[in-house]
């Protein structure tokens, strides 16, 4: 079975200079698509990737990353909606490139599907109430 | 049939007035007919909750010892500029005010994370606000510097005064250019990538009384979670806007100036707001009861989103250059479906005004009336109507030759 998941990798400072992601391709036959990558000098590296491959290899690859010391989060956990600030106006709906926000035409409430979210951050600034928060 | 406001108030006092919101009335009138519904229903409540830039607050902080004359000095609340040009202890803070060191649009698009609207939200939330003031000093007001925390519970008065709220209809904004633009109508993607609107449509106060027959100067309203009043017609009030057969304006039309005691208001209904690349503002909750005085009044309140048309305007060129070109007229029913079609292109829509919160406002107002806490009021004076000749004018610039 083929799986495809969007995940966030946190590389501790000591691992930043090692070619870890390379092993995912070479040793575990996994495909990946980098959506975001950043390195803060002397601190940590962060990479948002979509990882794809068969389930057995995927699980082995994830285990390899964890054993190496990489901290893994699923992407949806990083973008949160502060429910106490959201007024369900809808300003986020059309700026989101993956249509993660959906209007319920009956209740007029906006739902946020974090599995569709790619953590691009556009909604953070587009939200007039600043209800969207990014926690990497 | 015709009822008077006093008769309705008598029913409210006895706890047997029939009150429904402006969404519910549509179905009721459809089922029972106008005549019967007008007999049965006494009040229709409306609501709207969106960014309303022309909002602000007057605050009297009380006199310090020794006294300081703030008027003519400089005063900041949480580093945000205020208007200190009134008497010694009075201030005005506008929703669009910014800290002096905010980069504005020098870093484009500016984020505008904190401004006057946010100070107002913090104040009504009961949080302490840092006041810093400098003054020139006089014989009777010798002090020149003041730095202190202030809190809404300690100040003498905190009065919300919004010169223009509750616009009766508004533009739908699109962007015809090939680059993204940042406007008070939100982020507009190039080549009509999206269309933004801002209204509660069939729930909006002035759509339910299009000729201002019951909404007038002096009436009591829901404002920011507390009780407020219509102080005057709002700035740019435009009763002469074109209208449909049933009187619904098809352009921005009537507006209201609202005033109310901020001490009873809540940060649920006054929220500091940031429009990327544009500025700070305040999202304001307004609700107005419409007394069903006659079948005619009832008929006005049965307006539906399908009956309300709004103009689609290009904000990349037509709007900034005062051009009157309208790309299309679309109904709020279309806008609320999530898509409109302009020039053959299907465009996703988004609202800046919260319909679900507007419903909540209309229901809170309904409860207040049902519980006998809120009585209806007769206008002290009518708002300028369609025969008033009032029409907002563009600025006619006259060059100054030195």
- Both B207 and B338 in one domain: the answer is yes
Least Cα distance to B115 among A105, A112, A130 occurs for A130
Of B273, B357, B359, the CB nearest to A128: B273
Answer whether residue B100 is part of any domain.
Answer: yes
**Mean pLDDT by groups of 10 residues along chain A of 136 residues:** 87 82 89 85 82 92 91 82 96 94 94 88 95 88
Q: Kindly state the average pLDDT of the residues B89-118.
A: 98
Residues of B in contact with A125 (CB under 8 A): 109, 111, 276
What are B332's two structure tokens? 């709020």
- Both A60 and A27 in one domain: the answer is yes
Based on its alpha-carbon atoms, the radius of gyration of chain B, rounded to whole angstroms, reads 22
Answer whether residue B217 is part of any domain.
Answer: yes
On the question of pLDDT at B382 being above 80, the answer is: yes
Pairing of strands B256-261, B157-165: antiparallel
Count the alpha carbons within 13 Å of B360 in the hemisphere toward its beta carbon.
16
- Both B66 and B37 in one domain: the answer is no
- Both B182 and B243 in one domain: the answer is yes
- Both B212 and B338 in one domain: the answer is yes
Residue B24 belongs to domain spanning: 5-52+161-370
- Both B190 and B219 in one domain: the answer is yes
Kindly list the catalytic residues of B: 140
Answer whether residue B174 is part of any domain.
Answer: yes
Contact check, Cβ <8 Å, A87/B336: no
Interatomic CA distance for residues A48 and A33, integer angstroms: 9
Contact check, Cβ <8 Å, A94/B189: yes
Contact check, Cβ <8 Å, A107/B356: yes
On the question of pLDDT at B192 being above 90, the answer is: yes
Number of domains within chain A: 2
- Both A65 and A83 in one domain: the answer is no
Name residues 269-328 of chain B within 8 A of A (Cβ).
271, 273-276, 281, 283
- Both B63 and B175 in one domain: the answer is no
- Both B351 and B216 in one domain: the answer is yes
Looking up residue A86, the CATH number of its domain turns out to be 3.30.70.20
- Both B94 and B213 in one domain: the answer is no
Q: Kindly state the average pLDDT of the residues B62-71.
A: 98
Interatomic CA distance for residues B257 and B259, integer angstroms: 7
On the question of pLDDT at B322 being above 80, the answer is: yes
- Both B142 and B207 in one domain: the answer is no
Answer whether residue B240 is part of any domain.
Answer: yes
**How close is the nearest chain B Cα to the Cα of A65, in Å?**
37
Domain boundary pick from A42, A69, A96:
A69
- Both B34 and B130 in one domain: the answer is no
Least Cα distance to B62 among B30, B90, B37, B34 occurs for B90
Query: What is B280-305 written as a DSSP string?
Result: EEEEEEEE-EEE--SHHHHHHHT--G
Domain boundary pick from A49, A69, A89:
A69
Looking up residue A63, the CATH number of its domain turns out to be 3.30.70.260
Lowest mean pLDDT of A6-20, B69-83, B181-195, B256-270, name the range.
A6-20
Helix (H) or strand (E) holding B182: strand B181-183
pLDDT at A38: 85
Exposed/middle/buried for residue A42 (C-beta within 10 Å: 0-12, 13-18, 19+):
exposed
Give me chain B's average pLDDT, please: 97
Quick one: DSSP state of residue B242?
-
Number of domains within chain B: 2
Binned at pLDDT 50, 70 and 90, residue B386 comes out as: very high
Residue A33 belongs to domain spanning: 2-69
Q: Which of B283, B335, B351 to mutate to test the interface with A (most CBs of A within 10 A)?
A: B351
- Both B213 and B305 in one domain: the answer is yes
């Amino acid at each position: 079975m083929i799986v495809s998941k969007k995940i966030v990798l946190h590389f501790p400072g000591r691992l930043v200079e090692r070619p870890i992601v390379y092993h995912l391709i070479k040793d575990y036959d996994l495909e990946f698509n980098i959506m975001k990558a950043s390195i803060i000098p002397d601190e940590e590296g962060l990479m948002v990737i979509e990882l794809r491959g068969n389930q057995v290899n995927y699980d082995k690859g994830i285990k390899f990353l964890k054993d190496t010391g990489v901290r893994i989060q699923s992407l949806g956990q990083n973008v949160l909606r502060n429910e106490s600030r959201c007024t369900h106006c809808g300003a986020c709906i059309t700026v989101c490139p993956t249509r993660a926000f959906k209007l319920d035409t009956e209740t007029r409430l906006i739902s946020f599907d974090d599995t569709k979210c790619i953590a691009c951050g556009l909604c953070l600034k587009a939200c007039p109430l600043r209800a969207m928060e990014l926690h990497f | 049939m015709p009822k008077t406001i006093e008769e309705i108030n008598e029913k409210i006092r006895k706890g047997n007035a029939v009150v429904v919101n402006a969404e519910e009335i549509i179905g009721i009138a459809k089922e029972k007919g106008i005549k019967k519904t007008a007999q049965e229903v006494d009040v229709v409540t409306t609501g709207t909750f969106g960014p309303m830039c022309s909002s602000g607050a007057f605050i009297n902080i009380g006199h310090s010892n020794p006294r300081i004359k703030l008027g003519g000095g400089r005063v900041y609340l949480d580093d945000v500029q205020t208007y200190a040009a009134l008497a010694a202890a009075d201030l005005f803070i506008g929703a669009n005010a910014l800290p002096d060191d905010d980069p504005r649009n020098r870093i484009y698009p500016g984020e505008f994370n904190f401004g006057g609207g946010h100070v107002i939200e913090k104040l009504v939330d009961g949080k302490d606000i840092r006041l810093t003031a400098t003054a020139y000093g006089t014989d009777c007001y010798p002090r020149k510097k003041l730095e202190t925390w202030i809190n809404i519970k300690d100040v003498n008065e905190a009065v919300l005064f919004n010169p223009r709220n509750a616009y009766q209809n508004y533009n739908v904004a699109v962007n015809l250019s090939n680059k993204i633009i940042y406007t008070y109508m939100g982020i507009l993607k190039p080549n009509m990538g999206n269309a933004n609107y801002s209204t509660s449509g069939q729930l909006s106060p002035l759509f339910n009384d299009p000729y201002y027959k019951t909404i007038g100067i002096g009436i009591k309203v829901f404002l920011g979670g507390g009780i407020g009043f219509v102080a005057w017609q709002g700035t740019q009030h435009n009763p002469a806007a074109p209208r449909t057969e049933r009187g619904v304006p098809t352009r921005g039309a009537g507006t209201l100036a609202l005033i109310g005691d901020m001490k009873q208001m809540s940060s649920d209904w006054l929220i500091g707001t940031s429009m990327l690349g544009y500025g700070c503002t305040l999202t304001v909750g307004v609700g107005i009861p419409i007394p069903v005085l006659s079948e005619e009044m009832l008929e006005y309140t049965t307006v539906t989103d399908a009956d309300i048309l709004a103009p689609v305007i290009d904000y990349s060129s037509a709007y900034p250059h005062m051009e009157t070109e309208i790309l299309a007229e679309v109904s709020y029913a279309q806008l609320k479906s999530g898509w409109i079609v302009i020039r053959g292109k299907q465009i996703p829509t988004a609202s800046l005004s919260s319909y679900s919160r507007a419903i909540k406002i209309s229901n809170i107002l309904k409860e207040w009336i049902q519980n006998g806490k809120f009585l209806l009021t007769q206008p002290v004076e009518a708002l300028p109507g369609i025969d008033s000749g009032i029409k907002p004018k563009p600025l006619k610039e006259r060059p100054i030759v030195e």
